[in-house]
Structure 1
Amino acid sequence: MASDNPVSDEDFSAMMAAVGPFEADPHLAVAVSGGGDSMALCLLADAWARARGGKVSALTVDHGLRPESAVEAAMTGRWLGSRGIDHHILCRQGPKPLSGIQEAAREARYDLMCAWAGEAGVLHLLVAHTVEDQAETFLLRLERGSGIDGLSAMAAVRETPFVRLVRPLLGASRERLRDTLKVMDQDWIEDPANLDARYARTHLRAAVRALAGRGLNPERLAAIAKGMGHLRMTMEDAVSSLLAQCCAICPAGYAYVDGTVLARAAPEASLRALARILGCIGRKAYPPRREKLEFLHGLIIGGTFSSARTLAGCRILPPSGKSDKIVICREKRGAEIAFNPLKSISGVGFFLV
């Protein structure tokens, strides 16, 4: 039965314009599980790319966690092949996780797809997160007590070392995407994990439905997350400006920090600036625990920082002698890699040996 509200090619073009720009003749990788959301994304992206002289490569990850996963991956490939869409099945290797199954699967999935895209020279990886996914992510992070960063939920575009991770469907509902597939006469696979009570996402879906019944629908929750994202971007701009005033990174891999400039800045911007410096020097992907960061920050801006500290893989030294600058260097540890006199190696990401 035809739907009154499928995603049209014009609708999808507007969604893609919001997450651009894209090169001429774009080659897009699309994560496709065979479910309704990802199948709709793949078919819409294929039409969009073909209209611009480009192509789509669909990537299906077989985790091997369920007996039927290989059959489902092959079925997805047949569906896409019948439409002339390039399809690749990526198989996860290694032992199956005993706990944190969904988290481990998600990490493995992105690792495999990003690696494929990097090797293939594909710049964009599209994933089919919807407005309901955004609402669920917001509630999950609210439950965990997240701040602005976490409550921003998922960004429409995120840069990774290999590709741009692109989510063009954050404003579309699951129902609308399934309506789109019905118009296209395309089947899809229902993931049994979506009904598995062992997983947090299953309970969150129920919570989202309950809230929608009280007028707080997924669109409103996603709008709150979007507002948090704008607030986070404004804060990040302030942090970048502050770093330009208070911090100097030396080629040898350490930083000079003016604590008096940090002390004059807005507290949250000052705290985030310190976290970013520590992450840069310590080469950490995530900031230290908030309470530890706040303690160090309090010593610095309070003028009571008088002895060396360590945090986030860094050694933080107070001003000494005639210098009024704090020094942040990498904490002394054993070499993480073996030296080979016949090869060049990168030293903590700052210099070559």
Structure 2
Amino acid sequence: MSYCEFCGEQIGYLPFTCKYCGGTYCTKHRLPENHECTFELKHIPISSTTTMDSPKRYQDVVLKKTASREYLDQGPKVLKKYLKRQDKQRKKTLKTFGRSQKNAPKYNYTKILFLIIIITSIVALIFDLFGITQYIYLSLNGVFFNFAFHTFFSSLFISFSSSYFSLGSAVINLFFLFFMLFFLYFMARNIEFSYGASHLFKLYIISGLFSVLFYSLLRFGLNFYRPINIFPVYVGLAWGGIYGLISFIIFPIMNREIRALMTIIPMRITGKSFLIMIISIRLLFGLIYTAVDPILMLYYFPELGGILGSFIYYKYKFLRR
């Protein structure tokens, strides 16, 4: 027959052996907190021991009680130090996490770039209404005769062209720009996150300047058909920079399959096929309108220069490494 080492009660059933101190206890005192366990044998395997000699074991229990009380007296101090260390570590972790949140990329420069495009496009629409188009849109006529050299830069942030299209079509183009910028935002922020804000702006400006180059070459080529000094053609070339950003994302994954929302149902297509499709759509619309009037190619083909500018930037920036 076994006895509880804490209260001395005779146990008429299979006793409970504490794995932390090795003692035998009744149901009431089987938990460590109920028999003031000393945790002397914590993590050390023990064998169950029982005894018929209750008085001797009870003396050992008294000693255990004393040791337990000393342990509990020291416990709160140790626990207080432990909790203090934990609280200090928690504050340090929260402080580090707060700094990491502040330093997390917010894609501010992507937002700034898109905001500049939207504001400049709206301002260009207002200029068009007041008949001072030549001072914000790009036109070789305005450059040569009005000395509007700044339009080489301002036109890079205008999403539609003037003169040949109505105000209604310009407004529709502006709404389409909002939709396209929302789609492009996720691409542009990846460029900013991976390469930095300066890289994002350089890529956009270089792509836009190649669109300016394409426009200038085409306009000089059409000078015999519509002379520059008689027939001004005002264009906005923001789509050149936008095509440059899109194509820059595609160049590293030319032979990899990507999932694109080409129709209502997403389709899997290689990066090369996606790029060819973008160029083909632009060429198709350009050729259709060119068949109506050759001067209309100036509104569609220059943006393809942005893809060329993006490729040259990508090649000399990364492939030569």
TM range (shorter): under 0.3
Using structure 1 for the length normalisation, give the TM-score: 0.18
Q: Which has the higher helix share?
A: 2
Q: Which has the higher strand share?
A: 1
- Report which of the two structures shows the higher radius of gyration computed on alpha carbons: 2
Using structure 2 for the length normalisation, give the TM-score: 0.20
